[in-house]
Structure 1
Amino acid sequence: MSAAAPNAWPAGPLLAYYGDDFTGSTDAMEAMTAAGVPTLLCLDTPAPDLLARLPEVRCVGLAGSSRGRSPEWMDDALPRAFASLAALGAPILQYKVCSTFDSSPEIGSIGRAIELGVQHMPGKWSPMIVGAPRLKRYQAFGNLFAVVDGEGHRLDRHPTMSRHPVTPMNEADLRVHLRRQTARRIELIDMVRLRSHDAAAQCRALTGDDTPIVLIDVLDDETLAAAGRLVWEARGEGVFSASSSGLQYALAAHWRACGLLPTAPGLPRIQPVDAIAAVSGSCSPVTAGQIGWARANGFCVERLDLRRVLDEGASEAEIERAVGVAVQALGRGQSALVHSAEGPDDVAVLEFDATARAAGMTRHAAARRVGEALAAVMQRLLDRVDLKRAVVAGGDSSGEVASALGISALSVAAGLAPGAPLCRAWSNNSRRDGLEIVLKGGQIGEASFFGSVRG
C-alpha cells in the first residue's frame, strides 16, 4: 500500500493501536466506532479466532498499562505488543497516549515508546496528534491546553495535571516535554502552516532516515481534518504514531470529508438498569464531584481504608468488608460505589506516601496494591451478584480491574460521555461475556456521570 491513492481505503485493518492505559484505549475505540469504523479493543494479544468472528472490524486496539510503567518495563513488553499489532497489516500503528500527555522520563515515557515503536513500521516520519477538540484538548504552536469547567488552562497550569501525583505536567510545550524523554529529532507543523495548505510540502522536507517525531497542531474542526488528511496521505508504506485519540478523530474527519464515512453516524443510546456497581481509584477533582453526586443521589458509597489495604495482614478483611457493604446495598436494589480517594486534597491522597512507607512499600508498589484491591472488590461483586453493568473510574484502576475479570475484548455498546463509552465485554467466562462496563478516566464526565451510567 502506498499514498498513490490517498482517498481510498486499503483492504483489512486501517489502524492498529496500543493504549497506554485502559480508559484511553476505550476512548480511542469510541472515537472510531462513533465515526462508523467497526473497532475491537483486545485486552491481550489479538486472538485470530476472535478476529475471525468479527470480520467487519477495521480498527483493532490492545489495551495496556504502560502509562504507569518504567522504561525498562517498556523495553520488555512493548516490542511484543507492537509486533503483534504490526502483523495485522494496518497502514498506521499507533501508541495511544492520554490527551493530557501524562508522562515523564521515569514513568510512562512516551519518548521511549516511540523509540521502540518506529522500529516496527517503515515510515520516514512519526506524526503526533494530541489535540482533540471533542475532549476539549487543544494544541497551538506546540503547546497543549485543556478546558476544565468551561475555563481553558495551559497544561502546566492545569488544576489537576500540574499537580498529578506521579507525572505532573510542568511544561506545556510538548516539544520541550518530549525532549526530556528521547534524543530523537522533534519537529512541529503548526496551525498557521496547516491552514496555509503547504503542510504536505513541509512534511516532505522534514522526513528523513532518522524518522523524526512531527507534532501537528489541532485546535478546531478545520485543523483536525487537515491533520487527518496529512497523516493519511503521507502514510507511505506505513507509519508509527504516538498520539491521543485526536488521531482517531482526525482520520475520521478526513475520511468523512472524502465521502468514505457517513456524516457522524453516532452511537446507540444507553438503556437504563436498576442498579450498577462501581469502583474508583481516581484522585481527580472531577471524579470527586461525581462521587459526591452519587452519595447525594441514593448510591451506597463506601471508602476503602488504605492503611488496612496496604497492611498484608488486614488487606483481605478490608476488601471483604467493602464487598459485604456493597453486596447488601445491591441486594436492596441500590447502586454501590467503592472508592479509595475523593479528590487530590483527600487526606488519603495527601498522606499516601507516608502510608506506603509505614507499610514498607514504595509509592508505585502501594498504588498497584490499591488497584489490585479495587479489582478484587469488583471481581467478587460480579461473582456474588447478578449484575448487568459496572463502572471503573481511574486509568490505572481500570487496567487492574479489567485484567482481573477474565475479559478478552471490548466493543462499544452505547454512547455515554465523550471518552467513556458503555462497552460490551467478550469473554470465555459466561458470567463476564456480555457484561456492560464503563472504564472512565479521572477527568471524564459531568457531575452526574454515575447516574448517567445507570440510565
Structure 2
Amino acid sequence: MYLAYFGDDFTGSTDALEFLSRAGLRTMLFIDTPTAEQLTAYPDLDAIGVAGLTRSMAPEPMEAILSKAFPLLKALDVRHVHYKVCSTFDSSPTTGSIGRAIETGLAVFKQAFVPVLVAAPALGRYSIFGNLFARMGIGSQGAIYRLDRHPSMSKHPVTPADESDLRLHLARQTPLKSGLLDMLQIAKGQAVMRQEADRQVADGTRVLFIDALDTEQLCTIGAWLDTGIDAPKPVFSVGSSGIEMALGAYWNQTGDISSETDWPVIGPAEPLLVISGSCSPIATRQIQVAIDNGFAEILVPVADLAHEEATSRLMREVMATALPLLLRQQSVVIHSAGEQAGKANAVPAERLGTTLGRIARQLVGASATKRVVVAGGDTSSYAARAMGIEAVRMLAPLVPGAPLCTAIAPDSPLHGLEVNFKGGQVGSDDYFCLLRQGSAQNSV
C-alpha cells in the first residue's frame, strides 16, 4: 500500500479519505486500527485510514492509544504513515496535543525529524512563513483570516486559536525544536528543500513545518515527502489532508496512479436525517437555513445529558417526535446548538456524540431513511461508533472535505447506507439542503 493514516477525529478522517480516493487510490476508513490479518479481507486496497478520537483527549490517553496504533501501521507494507490533524491545527497542551502525538511518533518511527504540513489550499487553509490562515467555511467563498483572528476558530469552545504561528503554537505542547521550509525555499525546488532540511535538522530541529499557498506547490512537496527524506520506509508525517493532496498529486504526475474522475451522480434523498453536535457559527447558520427550507428542528436539551436516566428519557422523547416526521418523508435536523451553545460546550464530546449516534441508529432502523449527515468534529467519532459503523468507503465527492460515503456496519441498520460526516467549519450555508437534494458539485 501507498499510505496509512490515523485521524484525530472522524470528520477529518473522511477528509483524507476523499483526497486519496480522488487521487485514484482505493481507500477504506476503519473505526479501529486493523491488523495485517484483518486487511487480508480487502486485498485491493491502496491506502487505509483509522478514524480516531484523540482530538478530544488528554495527552496521556492519547499516547496510550497512539503507542499501540503507530506500531501496527508501521508493520504494514506501506510507504507512508500519517497522523492526520485538523487543517486549523486544533490542539492545546491539555486537549488533542499534537506535540504529544509527534513525540510518540518519533519514538516509534525513529526518524531524525517529522515533516508537518498543515496547509490545505483546496480547503482554504494556507501557511505563509509559518503562519496559518483559514477561510471562513470549507467549500464556501468566505473571507480568509489569520487563524488567531478567525471569527470561528479564535472562539473554538475547546481549543481556541490565539496564535497563528504554528511553531509558537506547538512550542506550548512539546519542547522539541521546530523549524520551517518556507514558501520561498519551496519555490526553489527539491535540491534547496533537501539542503535546507538537512541544515535545520543538523541544528537540532525535530519538527519541520512546510509552507503551502497553492495546489501547484503541493506536487513539489509531495515529491520531497516521497523521495527527498532520508529515512527508512514508512516515512512518518503529521498534518492535514494536505499530506494526501501532496502525495496524490505527485503520484498522479509520475503516473504511479491515475486520478479518479468517474463518480456516480448523487440524487436526492428524502427524508434526510441530520444530527449535529457542532457549536460552530457556520453549522448554526446551516441549521437555520435547513429549517427555513422545510427541515423539522428538534433541539436536544443538553442538561438532560447529565445523567443516564435523563438521557434515556430524552432519547425516547426525540424518537417520539422525529420518527413520525421521517415516516412522512420530512427531513429532520436534531442538534444541540442555537441559544444553548454555551451549555453544549460543557457536555463531554463522548456523551453528546454517543447519544446522538444512538438516536440516529434507532431512527434509521425504524424508518426508510437512506442518507444520514453527522456534523461536528469533536462528537462525530463517538456518534459513528454508536451507530455501529465499522468502516466507510467514499461514494462520491459533494463538498470539498466532506465526501458522501457508504457505511460498512454489518450488525447495524446503517449497513450500506449513505453517510456524510462534516466538521463544523465545512460547507456553505445551504449545506444540508445540498445533501438532501443531491449536489451538482459531485464532479468537483
Give TM class, smaller chain. Answer: over 0.9
Specify the alignment match of 1:56 in structure 2: 44
Q: Is the 8 A contact 1:124 1:208 kept in 2?
A: no
CA, structure 1 residues 248+165, in 2 after alignment: closer, same or farther (shift >3 Å)?
same
Q: Structure 1 residue 222 and structure 2 residue 216: aligned? A: yes
Specify the alignment match of 1:358 in structure 2: none
Q: Aligned equivalents of 2:314 and 2:51: distance in 1?
A: 29
Match of 2:25 among 37, 40, 52: 37
The alignment's TM-score, normalised by the length of structure 1, stands at 0.90
Q: Aligned equivalents of 1:338 and 1:316: distance in 2?
A: 16
Specify the alignment match of 1:173 in structure 2: 165
Q: Aligned equivalents of 2:35 and 2:394: distance in 1?
A: 18
Q: Is the 8 A contact 1:295 1:301 kept in 2?
A: yes
Match of 2:280 among 263, 279, 284: 284
Match of 2:103 among 102, 106, 115: 115
Specify the alignment match of 2:441 in structure 1: none
> What are the superposed Cα offsets for residues 268-302 of structure 1, whole Å, 9 maximum, x if unpaired?
33232221211000011111111111101111111
Q: Is the 8 A contact 1:36 1:266 kept in 2?
A: no
| Overall identity of the aligned pairs, in % | 42
Q: Structure 1 residue 307 and structure 2 residue 303: aligned? A: yes
Match of 2:181 among 189, 194, 201: 189
Q: Aligned equivalents of 1:240 and 1:34: distance in 2?
A: 22
Match of 2:393 among 395, 405, 411: 411
Q: Structure 1 residue 237 and structure 2 residue 229: aligned? A: no
Specify the alignment match of 2:16 in structure 1: 28
Match of 1:437 among 397, 419, 422: 419
Specify the alignment match of 1:7 in structure 2: none
Specify the alignment match of 2:442 in structure 1: none
Higher mean C-alpha displacement, 101-110 vs 113-122? 113-122
List 4+ stretches of structure 1 deviating above 4 A: 47-50, 208-211
Alpha-carbon shift at residue 49 of structure 1 (Å)? 5.9
5 Å-filtered alignment, 1:4-403, equals: 13-48=1-36, 51-148=39-136, 149-197=141-189, 198-207=192-201, 212-235=206-229, 236-238=231-233, 239-262=235-258, 265=261, 267-342=263-338, 346=339, 348-352=340-344, 363=346, 366-403=348-385
SS at the partner of 2:40?
helix
Q: Aligned equivalents of 2:377 and 2:298: distance in 1?
A: 20
Q: Aligned equivalents of 1:243 and 1:210: distance in 2?
A: 21
Residue identity opposite 2:424 in structure 1: G
Residue identity opposite 1:254 in structure 2: Y
Q: How many pairs align? A: 429
Q: Aligned equivalents of 1:269 and 1:117: distance in 2?
A: 40
CA, structure 1 residues 38+169, in 2 after alignment: closer, same or farther (shift >3 Å)?
same
Higher mean C-alpha displacement, 162-171 vs 273-282? 273-282
Q: Aligned equivalents of 2:414 and 2:204: distance in 1?
A: 46
CA, structure 1 residues 76+49, in 2 after alignment: closer, same or farther (shift >3 Å)?
closer
SS at the partner of 1:338?
strand
CA, structure 1 residues 419+266, in 2 after alignment: closer, same or farther (shift >3 Å)?
farther
Q: Aligned equivalents of 1:46 and 1:374: distance in 2?
A: 26
CA, structure 1 residues 52+310, in 2 after alignment: closer, same or farther (shift >3 Å)?
same
Q: Aligned equivalents of 1:443 and 1:379: distance in 2?
A: 25
SS at the partner of 1:46?
coil
Q: Is the 8 A contact 2:183 2:212 kept in 1?
A: yes
Q: Is the 8 A contact 1:194 1:227 kept in 2?
A: yes
Alpha-carbon shift at residue 234 of structure 1 (Å)? 2.3
SS at the partner of 1:337?
strand
Q: Aligned equivalents of 1:245 and 1:317: distance in 2?
A: 40
Q: Aligned equivalents of 1:446 and 1:188: distance in 2?
A: 33
Specify the alignment match of 1:360 in structure 2: none
Q: Is the 8 A contact 1:326 1:337 kept in 2?
A: no
Q: Aligned equivalents of 1:428 and 1:51: distance in 2?
A: 16
Match of 2:428 among 436, 441, 446: 446
> What are the superposed Cα offsets for residues 350-381 of structure 1, whole Å, 9 maximum, x if unpaired?
3457xxxxxxxxx3x64432222212211211
The alignment's TM-score, normalised by the length of structure 2, stands at 0.92
CA, structure 1 residues 44+351, in 2 after alignment: closer, same or farther (shift >3 Å)?
closer
Q: Aligned equivalents of 2:171 and 2:161: distance in 1?
A: 14
Q: Aligned equivalents of 2:163 and 2:378: distance in 1?
A: 23
Q: Which runs of 5+ in 1 are unaligned?
A: 1-12, 354-362
SS at the partner of 1:207?
helix
> What are the superposed Cα offsets for residues 132-166 of structure 1, whole Å, 9 maximum, x if unpaired?
11100000000000112431100000001101111
Alpha-carbon shift at residue 439 of structure 1 (Å)? 0.7
CA, structure 1 residues 407+47, in 2 after alignment: closer, same or farther (shift >3 Å)?
farther
Quote the RMSD (CA, aligned, Å). 1.8
Alpha-carbon shift at residue 187 of structure 1 (Å)? 0.8
Q: Aligned equivalents of 1:398 and 1:351: distance in 2?
A: 18
Q: Aligned equivalents of 2:359 and 2:410: distance in 1?
A: 21
Higher mean C-alpha displacement, 255-264 vs 90-99? 255-264
Alpha-carbon shift at residue 422 of structure 1 (Å)? 0.7
